[in-house]
Amino acid sequence: MKLNVNLPTPYDIVIEKGALAKAGDWVATLWQPQKIAIITDNRVGSLYAETVKLSLENAGFEAIVFDFLEGEASKNLKTVNKAYEFLVKHEMTRSDGIVALGGGVVGDLAGFVASTYMRGIHFLQIPTSLTAQVDSSIGGKTGVNTSFAKNMVGTFTQPDGVLIDPETLQTLGKRELIEGMGEVIKYGLIDDVELWEELSAMDGSPESILAHAESIIYRSCNVKRKVVVEDELDNGVRLYLNFGHTIGHAIEATAGYGKVMHGEAVAIGMVQISRVAEKKGLMPQGITQAIENMCQKFGLPTDYQPWQVDELYNALKHDKKARGHMIKTVIVPELGRAAINQIPLEEMKAYLEK
């Protein structure tokens, strides 16, 4: 299966079981022979780096591997600097490239390194987690966390291509697999009623996620593709993709990066903002309960303790969607449709109240 992201510099999203072992042939259709740095984390690297490295070498590339300690806590400028040092040590030039091999943390960090090293070298995404396959590998957002906010430092830089092998999901832990469903559920809610119906028909088990993997990845990627093509730089409809994220990112930051996983935080954020929006008459009765039921069916949390309103609000003030004293939040007035709700930043406190 293939989807085209039709931007000024277009690229394809390829979804194919067993594609990882043929990564070199895919890269050869996109790049001239060159040196390639595979950026990954220690866990994914131990599983897949050698397979991809050998495939690249068999296709005529020189491949090297840089890995770092897995987890959101590593997605920072300290790790970025180590990557720069590695690239310099191996004499990487502007005609060389980077392959991001891993989950969302790897993709965000590797993309940021590629977009800033020597003012930018090209890169490819090979996402191995469900969250990365359905969301973060597509659209060109790169970034790292600071002590102030998640993804505060980053760039918009599109990859030259995205290669998705659904079979990599089989090596995810149960929590890591389930976490990705937070983003999948979001896509059904904001733009794809048929995806929502497919999720409704599933029993919520990890086995059902794996059985439906190709379909839910394709549908989620298609929603992301459409939105990114319409609004590459996140000024309009791309904000719809942030449903649940405004509160979710604040949860991630205040809990300590890695304590609450991204998809888990998104699930909590979707339920919380919908509950308050429903009370304010911005969403019809019943949608919040439907969202909560769907999240719980797949094993996602819908609450988090301790819930510290002041701490969450302080984290929210650094959100990238804040403009002056206003912030744009996303609501779902009906299943399959999102809307922007711009409010004074101060009013976000009300959206954090239980």
Is 198 annotated in some ligand binding site? no
Is 245 annotated in some ligand binding site? yes
Is 90 annotated in some ligand binding site? no
Is 115 annotated in some ligand binding site? no
Is 288 annotated in some ligand binding site? no
Is 108 annotated in some ligand binding site? yes
Is 73 annotated in some ligand binding site? yes
**Which among 242, 244, 344 has a CA at the least distance from the CA of 304?**
244
Is 205 annotated in some ligand binding site? no
Is 170 annotated in some ligand binding site? yes
One-letter identity of residue 102: G
Is 89 annotated in some ligand binding site? no
Chain Cα centroid distance, residue 105: 8
Per the structure block, which two tokens stand in for 87? 């690239």
Is 330 annotated in some ligand binding site? no
Per the structure block, which two tokens stand in for 228? 């990114």
Can you spell out the DSSP letters for 83-112? HHHHHHHTT--TT-EEEEEESHHHHHHHHH
The answer to whether residues 246 and 273 touch, using CB atoms and an 8 Å cutoff, is yes
Is 29 annotated in some ligand binding site? no
Other residues' Cβ atoms within 10 Å of the Cβ of residue 148:
12
**Alpha-carbon distances, residue 24 vs 67, 176, 190, 249, 294 (angstroms):** 19, 27, 36, 35, 39
Is 71 annotated in some ligand binding site? yes
Is 104 annotated in some ligand binding site? yes
Within 13 A of 348's CA, how many CA atoms are on the CB side? Answer: 27
Other residues' Cβ atoms within 10 Å of the Cβ of residue 291:
26
Is 129 annotated in some ligand binding site? yes
The answer to whether residues 52 and 200 touch, using CB atoms and an 8 Å cutoff, is no
Is 234 annotated in some ligand binding site? no
Residue matched to tokens 């866990």: 43
Is 150 annotated in some ligand binding site? yes
One-letter identity of residue 126: I
Under DSSP, the state recorded for 118 is G
Is 172 annotated in some ligand binding site? no
Is 72 annotated in some ligand binding site? yes
Q: Which residues contact 44 (CB under 8 A, 6 or more apart)?
A: 70, 101, 102, 103, 106, 128
Is 236 annotated in some ligand binding site? no
One-letter identity of residue 109: L
The answer to whether residues 277 and 283 touch, using CB atoms and an 8 Å cutoff, is yes
**Which among 196, 192, 190 has a CA at the least distance from the CA of 333?**
190
Q: Longest Cα pair distance anywhere in the chain, in angstroms? A: 60
Which residue numbers belong to the known binding site for NAD(+)?
A: 70-75, 104-108, 128-129, 141, 150, 168-171
Which residue numbers belong to the known binding site for Zn(2+)?
A: 183, 245, 262
Which residue numbers belong to the known binding site?
A: 70-75, 104-108, 128-129, 141, 150, 168-171, 183, 245, 262
